[in-house]
Amino acid sequence: MLLGVDTGGTFTDFVLLNPDQTIRIHKVLSTPEAPEQAILQGVDELGLMTAARAGLLTIIHGSTVATNAALEGKGVSTAFITNRGFKDMLTIGRQTRRELYNLQPAALAPPVPHQLCLETGGRIAADGSLIEPLTNDDIEQLIEQLRVLKPEAVAINLLFSFLDNKAEKRLEQAISEAFDQQLFISRSSFVLPEYKEYERGMATWLNSWLGPLVERYLQNLQQQLKPTPIAVMQSSGGTIDASQASQRAVNMLLSGPAGGLSAAHYIGNSTNSKRLLTFDMGGTSTDVALIDHGIQLTNEGRIGNYPVAVPMVDMHTIGAGGGSIAWIDQGGLLQLGPKSAGAAPGPACYGKGGLQPTVTDANAVLGRLRPDAFLGGTMQLDIEAASRAIETIAKPLGLSVIEAADGILQIANEHMTRALRVISVQQGHDPHDFQLCCFGGAGGLHVCELAEQLGMHRALIPIHGGVLSALGMLVAPRQRQLSRTHQRLLNNQASHSTTAGIDNSVDDEINAVLKTLVLEGQAQLLAENLAADSITVQPSIDLRYQGQSYTLNIAWSNSEHAIDAFHQAHKKRYGHKMDLPIELVNVRAALNAQTTPFNLPRQHSSPNNSVNEQTNDRQDNHEVTLQGFNKAVKIYPRESLISGVVIVGPCLITEQVSTTLIAEGWVGELDKFGHLILEKSTHSN
């Protein structure tokens, strides 16, 4: 049995794939202070503890331990080691302002306290030549400093170590031996062997700062569920065995959201919907991303105030989830988020002591969340408590509770629309060319409104959308994303011609670097007991025009094709291409290995084409009057719908883990897998 687990800020989601390919889903409230407790609770409530203890269960887990620790600044005491004269590297950063027009910005504490920044020898130049050797005295002095400082972890980041890592490896070995392997050690030539010493240093420090927390958490979880094998989702959309995950903690900062994108990509392929704008609206935040025949990755991501240069899904996150709190600012205007009610106490309608108004409370007051159908009827909603919470902002604004609730939803929708434009319009994509795919427990209530604001006419609400990130854990491949900086000109002439000025030796150089990366990745995957013939390789290179600072990632086959593809990619992103030589910066290899085959079960179909013909006689279908609608709104349990039926809005589709609002003017149909395909109708019904 395979169990996908996604730990969110409010709920922890479970998707169980049985040996007969049937699926069970489950949700429990998260336990942020000890995330493993919610997982153990869910495993127990699903009746899987015996199977886990017998080794008959495999868990693939999206963890928030690294994410939460980074956002809350709760990493471990970490010493940062670099070359002499560069100890303030992480404090100085790129000297860029977070707020361009703020003349008195608040001072930020340095990521590493000054006393924990240490310097040593072992410096090499940009051409790989030795500037200052690493001596035995240097090593002894460092070890003595570490004995005094007593950090829990060490990050080693020497200049140009991606060209020659001997000094970093020597430091790693000496420190490990001196402290009897009691210190958690990261070196930049392992974490991120790329140029840009600041970004490489930040990634290495984050890996050490978070690594011991991830290691302790995973060891505790493995011990509690022994001998169940556990894999962990990485930020790039692939999984890694838990035994190796703690060494790559920085690669887990988008662990949960990446699971949702993996599932959306899988579903897009199965429904021939290769171009998707996705939004994952959970209890704490909303994550938006773009899929264009594949998951888009970036090495320019951020977590809080920190740049994260390791490959991660290209995702934009905002504080507009179901639990986002509405409040009134000093100017008397209604605002939303980023603070969230979280899992405890949660929205007021949960009846757990929450007093502040949230998006979920607004949906409940407007009747869009049904008190008797929430979480499949296992959790009753307190509508009166939700009304009292919203009244706290309605009265000061001179609004009714209904008007205030509607205002909260309008602001939430505007926040999400703006976020979707960031990852589409601002990157050269027309939303009209994509299908809007929503998931997360709260996503279905907003999908039609967002699509209309973006000028989109089609939407996809996947089956099990309320737990889609957990489903994504089951479909994601085992993966390694490896890279190495290899700077040189790809062509030496300023020309749009794909053959002008190409150095014929560059292809051999790139292929040699790729071979090294592939061998390293294969060794790591084979160590997870994967078959060699299951591993596929996707090579790519980062290119830029000579003199530029930023790169575009281009699939690699040969220089001629790469040059042409770069010109076109640059024109699409920035609106023009340039008559400049093209420079190679990084070589990348993505290695994927699909493990257990996964297929969603097909739904029963019917020759009838109207939902009314299928469900009129069912007693669990009825009509209600909802605020904002001029006609009665029908309510259908999703399990009562079968493939091929047509659903005409306005209506509510309730299910165990989410609710979908099909607005007036929209028509839906269930496909063979149970996904709900929505289209904007050409006439009003």
- The pLDDT tens digits for 500-534 are 566 668 999 999 999 999 999 999 999 988 889 89
Task: State pTM to two decimals.
Answer: 0.84
Which amino acid is located at 245 in the chain?
A
Cα distance between residue 23 and residue 2, in whole Å: 10
Tokens of 347: 């929205």
**pLDDT at residue 606 in the model:** 52
Q: Classify residue 99 by its DSSP letter.
A: S
Mean pLDDT of 238-264: 91
Cα–Cα distance for residue pair 266/476, rounded to 1 Å: 9
The Cα angle at residue 625 between residues 621 and 627, in degrees rounded to 5: 135
Pairing of strands 58-62, 2-7: parallel
- Write the burial class of residue 381 (CB in 10 Å: 0-12 exposed, 13-18 middle, 19+ buried): buried
Alpha carbons 383 and 655: distance in angstroms, whole number:
19
DSSP, collapsed to helix, strand or coil, labels residue 281 as strand
Contact 254, 313 (CB under 8 A): yes
Question: Which residue in 592, 570, 587, 588 sits closest to 579, CA to CA?
Answer: 570
Provide the pLDDT for residue 620: 46
- Please state the rounded mean pLDDT for residues 107-116: 91
Rounded alpha-carbon distances, angstroms, from residue 300 to 89, 110, 285:
18, 20, 20
Provide Rg for the chain, Cα atoms.
26
Structure tokens belonging to residue 65: 């331990």
Buried b / exposed e over 477-511, threshold 16 CB at 10 Å, is bbbbbbbbbbeeebbbeeeeebeeebeeebbeebe
Place of tokens 């930040």: 202
Question: Which carries the bigger pLDDT value, residue 608 or residue 434?
Answer: 434
Flag whether pLDDT at 613 surpasses 60.
Answer: no
Residue 148 has pLDDT above 60, yes or no: yes
Mean pLDDT of the chain: 89
pLDDT number for residue 281: 87
pLDDT digits (tens, 9 = 90+) for 343-389: 778 899 998 899 999 999 999 999 888 887 676 667 788 999 999 99
**Chain centre to alpha carbon of residue 441:** 16
- Split at pLDDT 50, 70, 90, the class of 170 is very high
Across residues 189-198, what is the average pLDDT? 94
Number of CB atoms found within 10 A of residue 53's CB: 14
- Tokens describing residue 51: 């199977």
**What gap in Å lies between CA 149 and CA 172, rounded to an integer?**
17
What the block records as the tokens of 614 is 């299928």
Backbone angles phi, psi at 467, to 5 degrees: -130, 30
d(CA 445, CA 246) in angstroms, rounded, equals 37
What are the structure tokens assigned to 31, written together?
């336990």
Task: Return the ∠ at Cα 246 (arms to 116 and 250), rounded to 5°.
Answer: 65
The owner of tokens 């165990």 is 656
pLDDT of 498 reads: 54
pLDDT score of 494: 58
Report which of 581, 595, 578, 605 is spatially closest to residue 535, judged by C-alpha positions: 595
Block residue for tokens 């336990």? 31
Nearest CA-CA partner of 260 in 282, 231, 245: 282
Q: Evaluate the CA torsion angle 427, 431, 434, 438 in order and state its sign.
A: positive
- Residue identified by tokens 């978070």 is 210
Under 8 Å between Cβ of 392 and 415: no
Q: Which residues contact 303 (CB under 8 A, 6 or more apart)?
A: 67, 70, 71, 206, 253
Percent of the chain with pLDDT over 70: 94
What is the pLDDT, as a whole number, of residue 656? Answer: 78
